[in-house]
Amino acid sequence: MIVIETYKGKSITEHRVEIVERKGTGHPDYMCDSIMDAISVALSKEYIKEAGTILHHNIDKGLLAAGRVEKIFGGGRVLQPMELTIGDRATFRVAGREIPVADIAMDAAKKWIKENLRFVDPEKHLKYRVVLAPGSEELTDIFFRRGRVRAANDTSAAVGYYPLSPTERVVLDLEKFLNSKRFKDKYPETGEDIKVMGLRSGSVLDLTVAMPLLANYIKSERDYFDGKQIIHKEMNRFLKKVEWFKKVEVHFNTLDEEGRGLGGIYLSLLGTSAEDADSGQVGRGNRVNGLISMNRPMGTEAAAGKNPVSHVGKIYNVLSHKIAKEIYEKIDGIKEVYVLLLSRIGTPIDTPQTATAQVLLERGRKINEIAKKAEEIFEREFSGISKFCMELSKGKYPVC
């Protein structure tokens, strides 16, 4: 059932207050989401190689337990490594052949860490605990049933929206800037564990950024605060190009207090708070569009690591945002669009129980003028869902 209706609320930019959060590359929650999804991509590739198709797996239960380090000005040492627990279900045998699931999972995790965290050694600084097990017979059987597409393995709802608000764009862009190769080459003393919180009140945007400086580069408390001031100015330069807002302020590492030595500064040995301060868990990080937007509707599914061909908790979460973007970009006269998708377990994934677009129109436009085109976009997206799922399986669409 496809429903196209008028969105009754205000545009996000008309809200007096808007709150948006972004957890960056080295945040423990982001690490869990990204690593588990990387494992799903690696397993999907192996299943296609061995069986010609993607088999049952859901790697969406993961926990990163913080380790312990000793930090001093100019360096430090790891006292206890972080521990990554990898769960939940996977297929271990194909046509009588064993699939080295645990090895694939650990190799994918180590590869992600090596490519994304400059100072974390995946062999020395982490321990790995793989608790994957075979799935239930009924859910596994979905992958052997006939049909052009898989049946949904859950009754699940998802919601997506487009476009991003100016606040959402700034929060997302600032974290990506601070974690960009160009920035890290210029300021190698900055860690990857970045969190950006944006508060818009009217036309004033207030940003709070947490980002550690690395102990190996910081020789004293004075060195820390001098470096922090330079980096703060760099953020302000980046934000000068931001339009739409009357005023933009950025606050950086606000827990700091001069005169307290190591206790008054945000110092890191490895670039992530998972080294000694904060654990991570799948599903606690960004939504699939990379943001945690408090004013927007948000689904409750953890998309990262779920299989890309039957688990609608992943498929519909990403697809709802993709469809919302298509409707907004292909149809004139739309200010915002929200897409709601609902599956029913056992029903083919290309036949949702409902696919709804709630559309906020420009003044003078009417819903019946755009309804047919919006329906056609839904139909086109669902008719091509097999291709979309294969793209998901290759990691084409980020999930955090």
CATH classification at residue 224: 3.30.300.340
384: pLDDT confidence band, cut at 50, 70 and 90?
Answer: very high
Would you say residue 48 lies in a domain? no
Rounded mean pLDDT, 135-148: 71
On the question of pLDDT at 263 being above 70, the answer is yes
d(CA 179, CA 362): 36
Q: Give residue 148's pLDDT band: very low, low, confident or very high (50, 70, 90).
A: confident
CB atoms within 10 A of CB 75: 14
The answer as to whether 78 is a domain residue is no
**Stretch 41-62: mean pLDDT, rounded?**
94
Instruction: Please tell me the predicted confidence (pLDDT) of residue 139.
Output: 66
Residue 206 located in a structural domain: yes
Q: Give the model's pLDDT for residue 138.
A: 60
| Section 301-321 average pLDDT | 95
The percentage of residues in the chain with a pLDDT greater than 70, rounded to a whole number, is 99
In a domain, 388, yes or no: no
Residue 149 lies in a domain: no
What b-and-e string marks burial along 221-260, b requiring 16 or more CB atoms within 10 Å of the CB?
Answer: bebbbebbeebeebbeebbeeeeebeebebebbeeeeeee
State residue 143's pLDDT score: 73
In a domain, 248, yes or no: yes
CA atoms within 13 A on the CB side of 273: 18
The average pLDDT across 129-157 equals 82
pLDDT tens, position by position, 225-262: 999 999 999 999 999 999 999 999 999 999 999 999 99
User: Is residue 136 pLDDT above 90, yes or no?
Assistant: no
Instruction: Decide if 341 is inside a domain.
Output: no
Number of domains in the chain: 1
Strands 267-268 and 213-214: parallel
Report whether pLDDT(388) > 90: yes
pLDDT at site 299? 86
CA distance 334 to 372: 14
- State the pLDDT confidence band at 149, using cuts at 50, 70 and 90: confident
Q: What is the pLDDT of residues 173-230, one digit of tens each?
A: 999 999 999 999 999 999 999 999 999 999 999 999 999 999 999 999 999 999 999 9
Number of other CB atoms surrounding residue 55 within 10 Å: 24
* The model's pTM: 0.95
| Residue 16 placed within a domain | yes
The predicted pLDDT at position 145 comes to 73
Residue 34 reports pLDDT greater than 80: yes
Determine the structural domain holding residue 228 and report its residue range.
12-24+165-280
Widest Cα–Cα separation across the chain: 69
- The per-residue pLDDT of the chain, averaged, comes to 95
User: Highest mean pLDDT range out of 128-137, 159-168, 297-306?
Assistant: 159-168
pLDDT, one tens digit per residue, over 328-366 is 999 999 999 999 999 999 999 999 999 999 999 999 899
CA distance 49 to 42: 11
> Mean pLDDT over residues 55-73, rounded?
96
